[in-house]
Amino acid sequence: MSIATDKLINSYKQALEVNQVGEKVKVNNVIGTAALVYEKVRNAIDYQEEHLLFKNAIHRILKRKLIFEKVILENYLLDKFHHENVAKQLVQELIRAGYVKGAVFIKKVEDVDKIIQKYNLLITKIKEVDGKISKKTFRYFLEIAAVEIEAVLIPADKEKALINAMFSVYNKHFDLFDQDVDEKQKELQTYLACHKVLFKWDHSMLSYLLLTLYYPKWKNADEELINKIANKSDKVVTEINKQITHPLQRQILKILQKKAIIFWVIQDVLEKNPKTAKQIFADQELLESEVKKAINRRYKGVRVKLRRGVVRSIIYVFFTKMTLALALELPMDYYLAGVINYTSLAINVIFPPFLMFVVAILIRMPKKENTTKIIAEINKISFKQKDVKNYKIKVLRIRGGVVRFIFNLIYALSFVFSLMIIFWGLNQLEFNFFSSLIFVLFLTLVSFFGIKIRRPVQELLAIDKRENIIGSIIDFFALPFVSMGRWMSGKFSKINFMAFFLDFIIEAPFKLLIEVFEDLFGFIREKKEEVMEE
């Protein structure tokens, strides 16, 4: 058994042995059901990556508690908003919404409170140093706070062990071409890439990771360290962003993306066989048998995830499209033509979710050769076989201005040509310009979501996908739509009126009402206990 595999197994064993005792924070099950239903609706309307839902929910609740409710309560109900209640209220909301299963120990709530106080103090210090704090900086540190709170509520010890195992296996097999990039820089970029490919860490999660790497004492930061970061907050943020967007990382990611499935399968074997893991990874025949079972389970899981992703995408596209149809398309149709074109309206409403469905049914699962490749790679890692490939990596050269201009021009012209064909076809169906524009915008959005929902299947591949001339031509014309769809998705998430309505018009009073009912049920329970004792 290799050293990396042995360390990984031991780390998993230690994570399973963690046991806490003490008082817990609980919520009422009846009240929790209402909050859970609301959260399901909220997440369906505002499309987000599934693995980011918990962290984003923490950020959303924090933002509401520390900004919206604070302003309302201080201005209209209280003399001062009590920050000490935020941690407990946050945890209770997360339990009700189903992000945290069961009760939470009071000790963890106290840890969450320390985190909130720490970032509150940091933001206050930045305001004192700079005279004010920008919305961007405030959001930046609030998102990092959400990441740290998530790590406290659901510790990721096993995930860290898997990341460290991947890093230890592949870091030594990356050889640098560029003399300008030193070994430490390569190691840092490899470490960040392992987080991205294995667990899809986003910008805020990587920012928190880098913050703790640059300042190892940040988790238990004292006022001196908080002052230090506040005094140079702009430089800290700039340096962190520089590392996250470093050009070397793209090359490393390209290689590691085909290796992620190998470690996911290893993880699945460990999760399924926690007590017999060492025996399994010491016996090649037994290991291959367990790996095959794990791969089949993973394939089945991805099929379920694919169906769920398709449903969420269709709901999001349909709700967004209906909102635009009612708010803009119907009035514009009547304004431009004097009548409503129900044919174009029906096509515009039905076609995007239908296309999403077609994209989904055309997705194919990996073939047998992919399973063979995964087994071979796991054997190399587990039994210290020496034929692990070395990879030459380098920072991509920047093309000259003239060449870049020509390539961008060709890329743009292909997009314009495709748009002309689409607009011509829609014109034959008596679409007006505005309806045609809406159709194209949602076509780009669906193109992007089509790539996103098939990503779990692509992530199962340990082998390189064979390219052909037809696929290359399709990619050439489709990529501009996907790129625009990605941009549109980001913009829609920022101007999602339904999500905005829920967050600021519905959620705040709804969650406050839930807290009132929670207290009421608690009061009734106490009275019942008093009566029973007499």
Identify the weakest region by mean pLDDT among 44-53, 159-168, 322-331.
Answer: 322-331
**How far, in Å, are 16, 103, 104, 106, 115 from residue 20 at the CA level?**
12, 12, 10, 11, 20
More confident residue, 185 or 522: 185
d(CA 31, CA 517): 7
- What's the confidence (pLDDT) of residue 438? 78
- What's the confidence (pLDDT) of residue 266? 94
- What's the confidence (pLDDT) of residue 477? 63
- What's the confidence (pLDDT) of residue 375? 92
Q: At what angle do helices 233-244 and 203-214 cross, to 10 degrees?
A: 120
Q: Is the pLDDT of residue 431 over 70?
A: yes
For the chain, how many residues are written?
Answer: 534
- What's the confidence (pLDDT) of residue 242? 93
Q: Report, as an integer, the average pLDDT of 328-355.
A: 72
- Retrieve residue 356's tokens: 């999403």
The single-letter DSSP state of residue 464 is P
For the segment 275-303, what is each residue's pLDDT rounded down to a tens digit? 888 898 888 899 999 999 999 999 988 88
CB burial of 284-305 (b: ≥16 within 10 Å; e: otherwise) equals eeebeebbeebbeebeeebeee
pTM for the model: 0.77
Could you tell me the pLDDT band of residue 75, with boundaries at 50, 70 and 90?
Answer: very low
- What's the confidence (pLDDT) of residue 98? 82
Q: Report the mean per-residue pLDDT for the chain.
A: 79
Q: Is the pLDDT of residue 334 over 60?
A: yes
Could you tell me the pLDDT band of residue 78, with boundaries at 50, 70 and 90?
Answer: very low
Give the bridge partners for 176, in sequence order: 393
For the segment 391-429, what is each residue's pLDDT rounded down to a tens digit? 887 766 665 677 777 877 887 787 788 888 888 888 888
Q: Report, as an integer, the average pLDDT of 336-361.
A: 75
d(CA 429, CA 443): 16
Q: Report, as an integer, the average pLDDT of 129-157.
A: 91
Phi first, then psi: give them for residue 125, nearest 5 degrees.
Answer: -65, -40
Q: Report, as an integer, the average pLDDT of 62-70.
A: 76
Give the bridge partners for 104, in sequence order: 25
* Nearest partner of 236 among 151, 141, 148, 145, judged by Cα: 141
Q: Are 414 and 473 in contact (CB under 8 A)?
A: no
Q: What is the percentage of the chain residues whose pLDDT exceeds 90?
A: 27
- What's the confidence (pLDDT) of residue 462? 87
Query: In 12-63, which ranges are E strands?
Result: 24-25
Could you tell me the pLDDT band of residue 267, with boundaries at 50, 70 and 90?
Answer: very high
For the segment 355-403, what is each residue's pLDDT rounded down to a tens digit? 777 877 778 888 889 999 999 999 888 886 666 677 887 766 665 677 7
Question: 312-316, 461-465, 501-505, 510-514 — which one is most confidently predicted on average?
Answer: 461-465
Q: Is the pLDDT of residue 260 over 90?
A: yes
Could you tell me the pLDDT band of residue 220, with boundaries at 50, 70 and 90?
Answer: very high
- What's the confidence (pLDDT) of residue 428? 84
